[in-house]
Amino acid sequence: MRAVVTGARGLLGEEVVDWLEGNEGDQVIRLRGRDELDIADTQAVVSFMRRVKPDFIVHCAAERDMDAAECNPRNAYMVNYFGTWNVALAAGLCDSLMVFISSEAVYDGKKDTMYTEDDPKNPLNVYGRSKAMAEEEVKSLLDKYFILRVPILFGGKGRTGDNRILNTVSALRSGECVTAPADQWTSPTYARDVAMAIGRMTRTPDDGHGLLACHGVAPRRGASPETGYGVYAVANKGKTSRYEFVCKLAELAGCKRSYVRPGSREGKPARRGRNTALDCACLERTFGLDLRPWEDALSECLKSMGLSS
């Protein structure tokens, strides 16, 4: 199969490219940044997709920094909303499946239990609103789509200077204190596991065999009963605070836990939800994808990066 991956220079995009090429045998066209294709340019996006004719597009490109988005909303909406609209438009014109990477930030975080796909969206910040709006455009423009709501991601790929794992371990090993919110709960997720899920989901048959019927479940709202197209939460199993996540990271990397200090999600330009942990039962029922606990994924990530104790 031929795939186009936007944001292929980032943490998730690079993992997606590696997985599709190495495990699925796909021909992957990497779009690493604006210098290769400006997703805010409608004509350029449509012309490019018509020329390469991909079987599917994995749209990872985004402005992911919540505080940067809050301080520069025009850029956030241009990239996250309008850029996604352009990619969805082109996917429809080319009859390509689109995988859109959305976010847990579409929720307000006020729920005590884990969020499911059917919980109402109520984003608290510009980043979340831009993603929520983009979701609606994908749904309105396409029949063949997967919208994946993912939480905070970790991994060994992407730009070295932006890698949270590498930077945190480096700081801790240098004897610096690291502060992380103790009042913000999430489902930390290994980017490689999300890439694996995308590889599995894009093998979905659309020839009438009825994937969901085989699993005895109803399709997601707005999804095709033959393929399972629709909205899915994709996250490693479990729930933890950002603070406890960094504490576990310190433990696995052989660093002193005492260097990790509890902080608060308050006081930043972008508001954060208290609890945005994700329930991925639908992903498991539909595709047989039961992502491992985040602790196991983090341990493997550190080993792959040569950072284990």
Confidence tier at 30 by pLDDT (50, 70, 90): very high
Looking at residue 218, its pLDDT comes to 39
Low-confidence winner among 10-24, 211-225, 288-302 (lowest mean pLDDT): 211-225
What is the set of domains in the chain, with CATH numbers?
2-304 (3.40.50.720)
- Whether 17 has a pLDDT exceeding 90, the answer reads yes
Please give the average per-residue pLDDT across 50-54, as a whole number.
97
Q: What is the pLDDT of residues 177-208, one digit of tens each?
A: 999 999 999 999 999 999 999 999 998 655 33
pLDDT at res. 118: 94
pLDDT at 223: 45
Q: Taking CA 222 as the corner, what is the angle to CA 220 and CA 223, rounded to the nearest 5 degrees?
A: 55
- Nearest Cα neighbor of 295 from 255, 222, 234, 244 is 244
pTM: 0.92
Mean pLDDT calculated for residue range 35-42? 96
pLDDT confidence band for 89 (50 / 70 / 90): very high
For 273-290, write each residue's pLDDT tens digit.
999 999 999 999 999 999
Q: State yes or no: pLDDT of 211 exceeds 90.
A: no
Say how far apart CA 236 and CA 22 lie, in whole Å.
22
Share of the chain above pLDDT 90, in %: 90
User: Residue 161's pLDDT is what?
Assistant: 86
What pLDDT, on a 0 to 100 scale, did the predictor assign at position 225? 45
Q: Are 306 and 254 in contact (CB under 8 A)?
A: no
Q: Write down the mean pLDDT value for the chain.
A: 92
Q: Which residue has the tokens 């709501």?
A: 149
pLDDT tier at 309 (50, 70, 90 boundaries)? confident
Check residues 222 and 124 and name the one with the higher pLDDT. Answer: 124
Ramachandran region, residue 216 (left: φ > 0; alpha: ψ -120 to 50; beta: rest) = left
Check if the beta carbon of residue 13 is closer than 8 Å to that of residue 6: yes
- Is residue 224 predicted with pLDDT exceeding 70? no
Q: If residue 6 lies in a helix (H) or strand (E), which one and from where to where?
A: strand 2-6
Cα–Cα distance between 49 and 16 in angstroms, integer?
Answer: 19
Across 238-263, average pLDDT: 97
Confidence of residue 160 (pLDDT cuts 50, 70, 90): confident
